[in-house]
Homo-oligomer: A and B are copies of this chain.
Amino acid sequence: MATPQKMENPNMTKALSDTILSKYINNLASEIKTAITKVKQINPEIEVMGIGIGAPNGNYYSGTIEYPPNLPFVGVVNFTSLIEKKFPEFKHIKLTNDANAAALGEMIYGGGKGMKNFAMMTLGTGLGSGLIVNGDLVYGADGFAGECGHTTVVPDGRVCGCGGLGHLEAYCSATGIKRTVYELLAKYNDSKSPLANIPYNEMTSKIVFDAAEKGDPIAKEVFQITGELLGRSLADTVHYLSPEAIFLFGGAAAAGDYIFKPAKASMERHLLPVFRNKVKILPSKLKESTAAIVGSSALIWKELEKN
């Protein structure tokens, strides 16, 4: 799950938030109705069983979106109950965080098929995670479990987006990769690296990947460092949960061997002997463009399994 921070927009009042929310729900309901109609036109036999929602700071238990950092809503929004009012015909309207939804997607449609225990790490702007234990998503006591991005990997290290220090997300997300680029440029004062010609605000994981492909030592070291830290953190994941596999998803994971190789080597080095050579680090089989959709849909499949 990605960061459930209480970092809402300070310029947003409750009244304005309610107005925006009301319009948003109306538009969303209209879009959903259109989508259902289209699906039925393609094949009238398709039965729509429910509505699955993947949302930042989404709480599965309560159906609420709580203090979302990047949405124009204030406080705790009872999101599923608003959707339920628009679609009283559906028994299953469920919401969870985007990374949790992605983990369910991986389990039902992706590389996690048949696995009862695995972890999903989404390496995007932030670092989200979804944990599957005994075939179920871990929601924890309050519905917000699976925040591996905010575990500490470098005590008193970089400032994380959440305000904490040294979190995994501050090092091993796409943003973390960018930060490491400039740390290394500063360290080596390397003017020959192609990365030295790009402004901070324009740097992407893709640019670093391309530079690594051309042999740039800075770019290669960036991935090496990122993989090292990620691998140590994944060893912690294994010590907690002993998963069958850990899936990496998202832009930063697209760097392939540049990140998978050092991550695997570092994870193995940091594992207790009993866990070594057991746990796979795999690229997600979900497509970047459709993961959110299949993940939300998987949320409803999971409900149908329970009933």
Using CB atoms and an 8 Å cutoff, list the residues of chain A in contact with chain B.
3-7, 57, 66-67, 115-117, 131, 133-134, 136, 138-155, 162, 164, 232, 235-237, 239-244, 270, 272-275, 278-279
Give Cα A91 to B7, complex, Å. Answer: 54
Q: Report whether A272 and B151 are in contact in the complex, using a CB–CB cutoff of 8 Å.
A: no
Tell me, rounded to whole Å, the shortest Cβ–Cβ distance linking A157 to chain B.
9
Question: Which residues of chain B have C-beta atoms less than 8 A from A133's C-beta?
Answer: 133-134, 138, 140
Tell me whether B240 and A141 are in contact (CB under 8 A).
no
A264 to chain B, nearest CB (A): 17
Q: Known: A155-B155, A274-B66, A278-B141. Is A240-B3 also a contact (CB below 8 A)?
A: no
Q: Is the interface of A mostly helix, strand, loop or mixed?
A: loop
B5, A274: Cβ atoms closer than 8 Å: yes
Cβ of B142 and Cβ of A242 under 8 Å apart?
Answer: yes
Once the chains are docked, how many angstroms separate the CA of A145 from the CA of B241? 5
Give, as a whole number of angstroms, the nearest-CB distance from A24 to chain B. 22
Residues of B near A162 (CB, < 8 A) are 272-273
Set of chain B residues within 8 Å of A57, measured between Cβ atoms = 274
Q: How far does the Cβ of A190 sit from chain B's closest Cβ, in whole Å?
A: 25
Copies of this chain, tallied across the complex: 2
Is the CB–CB distance between B117 and A150 below 8 Å?
no
Asked whether, in the complex, the Cβ of B274 is within 8 Å of the Cβ of A6, the reply is: yes
With A and B bound together, what is the CA distance between A185 and B8 in angstroms? 47
Known contacts A134-B134, A147-B240, A152-B232, A5 near B141 by CB under 8 Å: no
Contacts of A155 in B (CB 8 A): 153-155, 232
Given contacts A151-B239, A270-B152, A274-B6, contact A117 B144 (CB under 8 A): no
Identify A134's interface contact among B136, B240, B241, CB under 8 A: B136
Contact at B232–A142, with CB atoms within 8 Å?
no
Q: A141-B278, A232-B152 are in contact. Are A272 and B147 (CB under 8 A)?
A: yes
Do B235 and A144 have beta carbons less than 8 Å apart? no
Q: Are A242 and B139 in contact (CB under 8 A)?
A: yes
Q: Are B164 and A141 in contact (CB under 8 A)?
A: no
| Cβ contacts under 8 Å, A240 to chain B | 131, 138, 145-148, 151, 237, 240-241
The answer to whether B244 and A147 touch across the interface, beta carbons within 8 angstroms, is no
Contacts A232-B152, A235-B152 hold; do A140 and B242 have CB atoms under 8 A apart? yes
A42 to chain B, nearest CB (A): 38
